[in-house]
A and B are shown apart, each in its own frame.
Chain A
């Protein structure tokens, strides 16, 4: 568990210099995927870097499992955490395999175990170990480089994975693929992940908890659903985007949650684990009233009706506040 207690940080010496972090307190539970989000200058990146002491607080404490990180040996602390940055920072003079194996090497793992771990991680990230292991970073595309960057961060099996705008420099298609991979890894491994982003869609897609920062202060902490349905103030609502809150809400719920157990019909079909947002898109595209849902094996898993989507009796499972209109 990571805990920030009254953390304050100011860059520059002048007394009137703006505070990068202003009395921030936050608890990040084990196994959470916490997304720190905010405009540039909101202090989100500084907050992340305090966890592995790339930044030091002026006052306040950062605790890891109840221990003050300031008193831990720096190297030990960092070896317990994976670290991914936007500019990747692979070692250009080392092969992909050696890049991924760098933390296990520092942890003095036996050679065979390192090799096995590198192979395993390359497979996880859909990179053929025989092809990509011996390559150099400059021979990879941007998306592949960041895959290796994430694999490198995970190699030492860290308790915590820190990601500083990891996908900011990638094009949307590759970004989505990598987001899916991170989500999958989080669900499979149960690691605590802290990620910085300025992309609200990425935050809503990935976060179990979202922390919205503004000028060094935390404005709101909550689940994606809570942030969408109960924004703390007008600025949060602004940040999330007012016009498409409904669509974003739909993207948080799976299509099969509203499925009826009807027999299949001749209309279009969609995977059962698609979001309601994708369902709406498919319905609109085909101009129809219902669609078939298919499970992983391709078997029929029910029918989704458009009327159910826009019926509060069903979507009432979402804790929509009635005064949302007043915020918006």
Chain B
């Protein structure tokens, strides 16, 4: 942790070992235990112990930081700022990796993973909500902006949701077309690949001029919210980026439907519509959803950049922090982006799991 007398100076570091007293020793013991467990043979009992230790440690470190911040404010000046040090962020990252690795070795299902994630994150979330962490500098930044903060998150979600909506509306039919007509694929993929290589900021720039022209030429479009800056170019650029994974996923999904199934269905008298809805869609769904998942996670991250052209969202906090060297403000923007990304990831993994359950392994059908 770093403690500074006010927001502007960078403050001095407080190490974990300086705080070693009373119950904090428990955390130190857990840390040593985790080290020892890393040497233990990979039995299920040790792996679950590792999961438990890492979860408690992650929560405990957060609680420790919050309580120290409260102590500092009570002891010295009310303007003092206690920021989470890079060591703590790094520790959380490592604990996350330890958890992921242990769960992987345990072959834990989606539900077990979500359970562990909830046990780790719920106490931290409660800490935030209860006000116990209010004296941490990142929470002070939040307090400064609490009235606009949730609006900013909603805006971010709106950008992502709109982009995904357009991507699905365009990408799914396009993916189907590339499957049905090989020529469409040959024309489409080079184009989408090129779009994917254009740096995001450049793409926003490229989109500004034509959109501004459109809005100027047809004022109705302008009134509908289309303009060179703001939401429209942001959503449009994100849509263009998201198209490639969605079209790819749709094509791959349809292509792996066994030809024996389509042939048998046709021979038995399925209409093309029945073939599509009853066989191709359910069998392609898990792969299509994996494509949508990649597109969504990518969109959550990229949406931050749209702040540069005035689309708003969490990126606006992040860039404001960057330009004013306010690290905590940057984090205030970044952390929710990471959480959103993880949530979207988890949601799609769950959906993929559900759709794959309806589609038991196809190996034998091929």
Interfacial residues, chain A to chain B (CB-CB below 8 A): 52, 54, 75-79, 82-83, 85, 87-93, 102-103, 106, 136-140, 142, 145, 149, 152-153, 162
Known: A85-B263, A137-B364, A138-B364. A91 touches B269 (CB 8 A): no
Q: Is the CB of B266 within 8 A of A88?
A: no
* Residues of chain A within 8 A of B283, CB atoms compared: 92-93
Q: Kindly state the separation between the CA atoms of A137 and B359 in the bound complex, as whole angstroms.
A: 11
Q: Is the CB of B267 within 8 A of A90?
A: no
Within 8 Å by CB of B365, from A76, A79, A106, A137, lies A137
Q: Is the CB of A83 within 8 A of B359?
A: no
* Residues of chain A within 8 A of B269, CB atoms compared: 75-79, 103, 106
Which chain B residues (249-278) contact chain A, with CB distance < 8 Å? 258-271, 274, 278
Within 8 Å by CB of A88, from B264, B278, B279, lies B264
Within 8 Å by CB of A85, from B260, B358, B360, B364, lies B260
Q: Kindly state the separation between the CA atoms of A83 and B269 in the bound complex, as whole angstroms.
A: 9
Name the residue in A77, A87, A149 with the highest tally of chain B Cβ atoms < 10 Å from its Cβ. A87
CB distance from A168 to the nearest CB of B (A): 13
CB distance from B288 to the nearest CB of A (A): 14
Q: Is the CB of A90 within 8 A of B365?
A: yes
Q: Is the CB of A138 within 8 A of B267?
A: no
* Residues of chain A within 8 A of B148, CB atoms compared: none
Interfacial residues, chain B to chain A (CB-CB below 8 A): 258-271, 274, 278-279, 282-283, 358-366
Q: Is the CB of B268 within 8 A of A83?
A: yes
* Residues of chain B within 8 A of A89, CB atoms compared: 258, 260-265, 365
Q: Kindly state the separation between the CA atoms of A54 and B265 in the bound complex, as whole angstroms.
A: 11
Name the residue in A54, A106, A139 with the highest tally of chain B Cβ atoms < 10 Å from its Cβ. A106
Within 8 Å by CB of A92, from B263, B267, B278, B361, lies B361
CB distance from B9 to the nearest CB of A (A): 63
Q: Kindly state the separation between the CA atoms of A52 and B270 in the bound complex, as whole angstroms.
A: 12
* Residues of chain A within 8 A of B362, CB atoms compared: 92, 138
Given pairs A79-B268, A92-B361, A138-B361, 14 additional interface contacts (CB within 8 A): A78-B267, A79-B269, A85-B260, A87-B258, A89-B261, A90-B365, A91-B279, A92-B261, A92-B283, A93-B283, A93-B359, A106-B274, A138-B360, A138-B365
Residue of A nearest to B270 (CB): A106
What are 12 A-B residue pairs whose CB atoms fall within 8 Å in the complex? A75-B269, A78-B269, A83-B264, A83-B267, A89-B258, A89-B263, A90-B264, A93-B283, A93-B359, A138-B365, A140-B364, A153-B268
Q: Kindly state the separation between the CA atoms of A319 and B65 in the bound complex, as whole angstroms.
A: 101
* Residues of chain B within 8 A of A140, CB atoms compared: 364
CB distance from B283 to the nearest CB of A (A): 6
Within 8 Å by CB of B360, from A88, A92, A162, lies A92
Known: A93-B282, A93-B358. A85 touches B264 (CB 8 A): yes
CB distance from B271 to the nearest CB of A (A): 6
Q: Kindly state the separation between the CA atoms of A221 and B324 in the bound complex, as whole angstroms.
A: 91
Q: Kindly state the separation between the CA atoms of A128 and B283 in the bound complex, as whole angstroms.
A: 27
Q: Is the CB of A92 within 8 A of B264?
A: no
Q: Kindly state the separation between the CA atoms of A89 and B365 in the bound complex, as whole angstroms.
A: 6
Q: Kindly state the separation between the CA atoms of A93 and B285 in the bound complex, as whole angstroms.
A: 11
Q: Kindly state the separation between the CA atoms of A93 and B354 in the bound complex, as whole angstroms.
A: 12
Q: Kindly state the separation between the CA atoms of A75 and B265 in the bound complex, as whole angstroms.
A: 11
Residue of A nearest to B356 (CB): A93
Name the residue in B264, B282, B360, B361 with the highest tally of chain A Cβ atoms < 10 Å from its Cβ. B264
Q: Kindly state the separation between the CA atoms of A136 and B366 in the bound complex, as whole angstroms.
A: 14
Residue of B nearest to A149 (CB): B264
Known: A92-B360, A136-B360, A138-B365. A54 touches B266 (CB 8 A): yes
* Residues of chain A within 8 A of B274, CB atoms compared: 106
Q: Kindly state the separation between the CA atoms of A92 and B285 in the bound complex, as whole angstroms.
A: 13
* Residues of chain B within 8 A of A79, CB atoms compared: 268-269
